[in-house]
Structure 1
């Protein structure tokens, strides 16, 4: 008689502790990308890195269509009408960079769709956040408290970073206290 125990069935074991969010989303991103023809989801998730920030600001990939005979695919880009001529002149550059992402000549054509990214009812005005006013320097008392809180640190760079952090926290707390008193 053998004293071997029967092997336990192998199940997907979860990691202990923190898990990367990408692991939870990988399958959903892959399924959404494949429904539009994107076999490599990296093209969607890293579009600005693939084609460059100038082109990525003006064009977005919409779908990849494959021909019936399977030779070469067509990448369709969504472009606003005003930037379409510039993107049109960059088609070959875009095709080369996307093919470099795939690792082979997957894309044979790049077509442009000139529509707004939002519907007609939504405005096309881009609202930038208001510029922030420069933050006043912390008071001498706050600087002294921050210096005292980081006093025991031997590393000069770490001490300076801790002093700056303490000054930010103390000045924010002082600002919040002053706002409460004003109310």
Structure 2
């Protein structure tokens, strides 16, 4: 017989363990996804999760739903789509067919208008322009005096791998010291 859990001295009763085994992640996150979608106006979260199937792969590649805003009467909502500036005119011509597909997802004429918001292909946090990195300068040949000093530092080591690593380390330290000209 299962032992009933007694409250701790501070009054805390640990929650009972669930004994259903493994569950699908979609079942665990279903309520959280629905709440977030409803906060943005999406009464049917399927519009967000299956956008490529609803709009078609060619339209889904150039736009995505951002929000649904409802009018004062409750019917005749406006779907706002985010797209790049170049795809805007082509998408504008296909809006009536897209509105029919979206309303088929809802099951009734929920969306009366679709508005487009054109933006850059990248968001503000990723940066607006692509920068090519400056070409790296060719590495300078090490000073032969520094190479001789580095070899002298690692001269007493018998292991080949360790000796080459110490020579490289000593060469880096000595070349950095010569670049700084004694200033630390």
Q: TM-score range by the shorter chain?
A: 0.5 to 0.7
Distance (Å, rounded) in 2 between the aligned partners of 1:15 and 1:71: 44
With over 3 angstroms needed to count, the CA separation of the structure-2 counterparts of 1:119 and 1:69, relative to structure 1, is same
| Counterpart position of 1:29 | 33
Q: For 1:77-156, what aligned pairs fall within 5 Å after superposition? A: 77-116=81-120, 117-119=122-124, 122-123=127-128
Superposed displacement of residue 93, structure 1: 1.0
SS of the equivalent of 2:101 reads helix
Gaps of 5+ in 2: 1-15, 131-184
Per-residue CA deviations over 1:60-106 (Å, capped at 9, x if unaligned) read: 10000001122310000001000001110110111000000001100
Equivalent of 1:45 in 37, 42, 49: 49
Q: RMSD across aligned C-alpha pairs, in angstroms?
A: 2.2
Q: Residue in 2 aligned with 1:69? A: 73
Map Cα deviations across residues 30-86 of structure 1 (whole Å, 9 max, x no partner): 011001100000000000001100000000100000011223100000010000011
Deviates more, 1:116-125 or 1:28-37: 116-125
SS in 2 for 1:26: helix
Q: 1:124 to 1:60 in 2, by over 3 A?
A: farther
Cα offset, 1:16, TM superposition: 2.5
User: How many correspondences in the alignment?
Assistant: 115
TM (norm. structure 2) is: 0.58
Query: Which stretches of structure 1, 4 residues or more, deviate above 2 A after TM superposition?
Result: 12-17
Given the superposition, is the C-alpha separation of residues 40 and 13 from structure 1 closer, same or farther in structure 2, using an over 3 Å criterion? farther
Please identify, of 114-123 and 50-59, the stretch whose mean Cα deviation from structure 2 is larger: 114-123
